[in-house]
Chain A
Amino acid sequence: MARSSDPTRFTIAEAREALAAKDISARELAQAHVDAVVKARPLNAFITETPDHALSRAAQSDARIAAGEARPLEGIPLAIKDLFCTQGVRTTAASRILDNFIPTYESAVSQNLWDAGAVMVGKTNLDEFAMGSSNETSYFGPVTNPWRARGRNDDLVPGGSSGGSATAVAANLALGATGTDTGGSIRQPAAVTGIVGLKPTYGRCSRWGIVAFASSLDQAGPMTRTVRDAAIMLKAMASHDPRDTTSVNVPVPDYEKALEGGIAGLKVGIPKEYRIDGAPPEIDELWNRGVEWLRTQGAEIIDVSLPHTKYALPAYYIVAPAEASSNLARYDGVRYGHRASGVDDLIGLYERTRAEGFGREVKRRIMIGTYVLSAGYYDAYYLRAQRVRTLIAQDFAQSFQRCDVLLTPATPSPAFAVGAKTDDPVSMYLNDVFTVTVNLAGLPAISVPSGLSHDGLPLGLQIIGKAFDEATVLRAGRAIETAADFRSAPQAWWRPA
C-alpha cells in the first residue's frame, strides 16, 4: 500500500521506512505532529504539549540516521499518558493533587522508548489517577472522541482511562501512544476510537515510575493504529527491571517477526459467558463475524466456559479501590504536590489537602477501599474478592488447556455521549465487563478495530492469550485486522477551517 503524503497518517512501520529511505527527516515528521497537536486542542487530548522535546530529539535522530545508527523507534513521535513520570516534564495523573509535580526521574517504560529513539509530542489526558472509563474524571476536563456518530455533531467520550492517548492516535496527533490498563484502560478506549490497544502480561513491562493506581492490576502497553505497530512498540517498552519486584525476567521476543506464519491450526476459544443480556445485537453480530474470519483462515473454533466471569467486576471494585486507597495514602501535602493553605495542624493539613486535591471518583474509590480494608470487614470483602480472583484465573487456566487464545468483544457498546453515565457509577463500571477479567488473571490481551456500529462508530474485538504469550495474541490480532480490513477514519472536524 502506498504511503500517504501526510506524514501524520503514517503507521510506525511506514515512518520507519520513510525515515530510512530519507523521504522525510525526523525533524519534518516531528514538526508535522507538533502542528497537528496544536490544531487539535479542541479535543483536549493533551495535558502538557512538549514540542521542544519532540523537535530537539528529532534533530538528534536525524544525526543518528545520517550516521547509519538508527535505533528501532528512531524519530518516531509518540504521546505519553500523563501517568508515566517524565524527567523535567510535569506529570499530573490528571489530578489537582499533582498539578505542579515535575519528576526528577524517568519511568522505566518511557526511558526504554527514548533509548529506542522515540520522541515525545506531549503528555496525554486521562481519567484522574486512571480511575474511569470515559476520561470525564480528569481535573483538566474531558477528552473528546475524534469520532462522531453518522450525521450528528454530539461530543462522544473516547473511553478511559487512556482516553487522551487513544484520541491522540486516532486523530493522527502521534504515531503511537503509551497507555496503562488496570481494568481495561488501554483496550476499551482503543476499541471506541478505532485503534489497536495491547495490555501485556502482568510483569512484562516495568511499573517503575508509573503513578500507581492498583499495583496488582496495573500494566503499561502500546496504543497504535496497526497490530504491527503494537508489536514494534511493545518490543521497545518491555524489559526486566529490578526496581519493580513484579517485573518478570523472561526474554522479550521479536514480536514483529512473530506476526508472520498465519493462524492455521490455532485453537480459538469462544467463552459463552461473554454473551451478555442487554448488549446491543451488533456486538454479538461482530463477534460472530470475528469467529468466521478466524475459521476461514484455518483456526479451530472451540466453545469454552469461564463460569466466574460475572463476578469479575464486583471483585475488581473491591480489589482495585483497596489497593488505590493504600497507594494514594502517599499524597499528604508534605513531600510533593498540592498543599492546602492556612491549616495549622498536621491531621487537618492532610485532610484539607486531600479533600481539595482529589476529585469525586477518586474520593469514592478511596472511601470504598478504606472501608473494605477496615477492621472487621477485611475477610468479608477483600479476602473474599481475592479468592474469587483465584477462581477467575483458574477458569482461564482450564480454558487454555484446550485452546491457544480466546476471542471476545472488547466493549459492550460503542462510544457514548459526554455526561451520559456520570451519575451512575455502576453503569459506568460495566463498560469494562469484557476487559476486567484479564487484569484479574494477569493475562495479555489486544483490542483490534473490527467494524462500525449502525451509526458509524468503531467497535473492537478482543484476543486474550496465555501469560507471556503476547506473540500469539498479536498474530491472532493480525488475523482479525487483515479480515476486518478496517479503513474508516474520523473526519478532522476539529481542525480550524
Chain B
Amino acid sequence: MPVDRETVRRIARLARLAVDEGQVVAMETELNALLSWVEQLQEVNVEGVPPMTSVVEQRLKMREDVVTDGGYAEDLIKNAPQAENHFFVVPKVVE
C-alpha cells in the first residue's frame, strides 16, 4: 500500500484540507484503491515518448507587455467574505 495514514495527513495538510481521524481512515482506503488502479500505466513503454505539453498544436502567442485591463477594485472585493477599504481581511498573521 503506497499511502499510509501519516501520508494522508501530510497530503491533506499540503492541500489545505482539515480532516478528522474518520476521514483519514476512509481516504487511506480510497487513495490506495485509486493508486493501485492507475498502477497499470507502469506496463506502458514510454521510453523516448515526450510528455504532452500542448493539447492542440499551436505557436505560443505573444503580446506587447503592457497593461490591457484593470481598475476594478470595487468588483474584486464584491464577493469577499470580509473586506475593508479595498483590502481583503484575514485573521492576524503577525503578532
Nearest 7 CB-CB pairings of A with B: A386-B51, A336-B79, A442-B55, A339-B81, A355-B18, A351-B18, A387-B46
State which of A38-46, A313-321, A445-453 sits at the interface with chain B.
Answer: A313-321
> How far is it, in angstroms, between the C-alpha of A491 and the C-alpha of B30 when the chains are bound?
39
- In this complex, how many residues of chain A approach chain B with their Cβ under 8 Å: the count is 70
5 contacts between A and B (CB under 8 A): A246-B55, A318-B41, A336-B79, A355-B18, A371-B31
Q: CB-nearest residue of chain A relative to B68?
A: A242
Inter-chain contacts of A363 with B (CB < 8 A): 17, 27
Inter-chain contacts of B51 with A (CB < 8 A): 383, 386-387, 389-390
- Structural contact, B14 and A374, CB atoms closer than 8 A: yes
- Structural contact, A242 and B63, CB atoms closer than 8 A: yes
Per-residue A-contact encoding for B81-95, CB less than 8 Å = 1, 0 else: 110000010111100
Per-residue A-contact encoding for B49-82, CB less than 8 Å = 1, 0 else: 1111101111011010000000010011011111
Q: CB-nearest residue of chain A relative to B63?
A: A242
Contacts A242-B63, A317-B34, A351-B16 given; does A311 touch B80 at CB 8 Å: no
State which of A71-79, A99-107, A178-186, A262-270 sits at the interface with chain B.
Answer: A99-107
Interface residues of A (CB under 8 A from B): 100-102, 104-105, 201-203, 216-217, 242, 245-246, 248, 308, 310-311, 314-315, 317-318, 325, 329, 332-339, 343-352, 354-355, 358, 363-364, 366-368, 370-371, 374, 381, 383-391, 393, 425-426, 440-442, 467-468
> How far is it, in angstroms, between the C-alpha of A244 and the C-alpha of B88 when the chains are bound?
27
Q: CB-nearest residue of chain B relative to A104?
A: B75
Inter-chain contacts of B63 with A (CB < 8 A): 242
B25 sits at the interface (CB 8 A): no
Q: CB-nearest residue of chain B relative to A391?
A: B49
- Structural contact, A391 and B46, CB atoms closer than 8 A: yes
> How far is it, in angstroms, between the C-alpha of A217 and the C-alpha of B55 when the chains are bound?
8
> How far is it, in angstroms, between the C-alpha of A370 and the C-alpha of B11 when the chains are bound?
6
- Structural contact, B19 and A100, CB atoms closer than 8 A: no
> How far is it, in angstroms, between the C-alpha of A467 and the C-alpha of B58 when the chains are bound?
12
- Structural contact, B55 and A216, CB atoms closer than 8 A: yes
- Structural contact, A366 and B79, CB atoms closer than 8 A: no
- Structural contact, B17 and A201, CB atoms closer than 8 A: no
Contacts A371-B11, A426-B33 given; does A334 touch B90 at CB 8 Å: yes
B44 sits at the interface (CB 8 A): yes
Please tell me which one of the listed residues B17, B52, B88 contacts residue A335 in the complex, with CB atoms under 8 A apart: B88
CB distance from A238 to the nearest CB of B (A): 14
Q: Add 5 more A-B contacts to A332-B16, A354-B17, A388-B44 (CB < 8 A).
A: A202-B56, A203-B56, A242-B61, A386-B52, A387-B52
- Structural contact, A368 and B17, CB atoms closer than 8 A: no
Interface residues of B (CB under 8 A from A): 3, 7-8, 11-19, 27, 30-31, 33-35, 37-38, 40-42, 44, 46, 49-53, 55-58, 60-61, 63, 72, 75-76, 78-82, 88, 90-93
- Structural contact, B14 and A368, CB atoms closer than 8 A: no
> How far is it, in angstroms, between the C-alpha of A104 and the C-alpha of B71 when the chains are bound?
13
Inter-chain contacts of A468 with B (CB < 8 A): 56
CB distance from A81 to the nearest CB of B (A): 20
Inter-chain contacts of B75 with A (CB < 8 A): 104-105
CB distance from B49 to the nearest CB of A (A): 4
- Structural contact, A100 and B79, CB atoms closer than 8 A: yes
Inter-chain contacts of B13 with A (CB < 8 A): 351
Q: CB-nearest residue of chain A relative to B78?
A: A104
CB distance from A273 to the nearest CB of B (A): 14
- Structural contact, A203 and B37, CB atoms closer than 8 A: no
> How far is it, in angstroms, between the C-alpha of A339 and the C-alpha of B72 when the chains are bound?
22
CB distance from B60 to the nearest CB of A (A): 8
- Structural contact, B17 and A311, CB atoms closer than 8 A: no
Contacts A315-B41, A334-B88, A383-B51 given; does A248 touch B56 at CB 8 Å: yes
Q: CB-nearest residue of chain B relative to A98?
A: B79
- Structural contact, A314 and B52, CB atoms closer than 8 A: no
Contacts A311-B44, A314-B41, A335-B80 given; does A366 touch B15 at CB 8 Å: yes
> How far is it, in angstroms, between the C-alpha of A350 and the C-alpha of B15 when the chains are bound?
10
Q: CB-nearest residue of chain B relative to A394?
A: B49
Inter-chain contacts of A201 with B (CB < 8 A): 56
> How far is it, in angstroms, between the C-alpha of A351 and the C-alpha of B60 when the chains are bound?
36
Inter-chain contacts of A350 with B (CB < 8 A): 16
Q: CB-nearest residue of chain A relative to B88?
A: A334
> How far is it, in angstroms, between the C-alpha of A357 and the C-alpha of B33 when the chains are bound?
25
Contacts A314-B37, A335-B88, A387-B49 given; does A367 touch B15 at CB 8 Å: yes
Inter-chain contacts of B50 with A (CB < 8 A): 387, 390
Inter-chain contacts of A345 with B (CB < 8 A): 91
Which of B14, B38, B75, B79 has the most A CB atoms < 10 Å from its CB?
B38
- Structural contact, A335 and B16, CB atoms closer than 8 A: no
> How far is it, in angstroms, between the C-alpha of A201 and the C-alpha of B79 when the chains are bound?
33
> How far is it, in angstroms, between the C-alpha of A386 and the C-alpha of B53 when the chains are bound?
8
Q: CB-nearest residue of chain A relative to B51?
A: A386
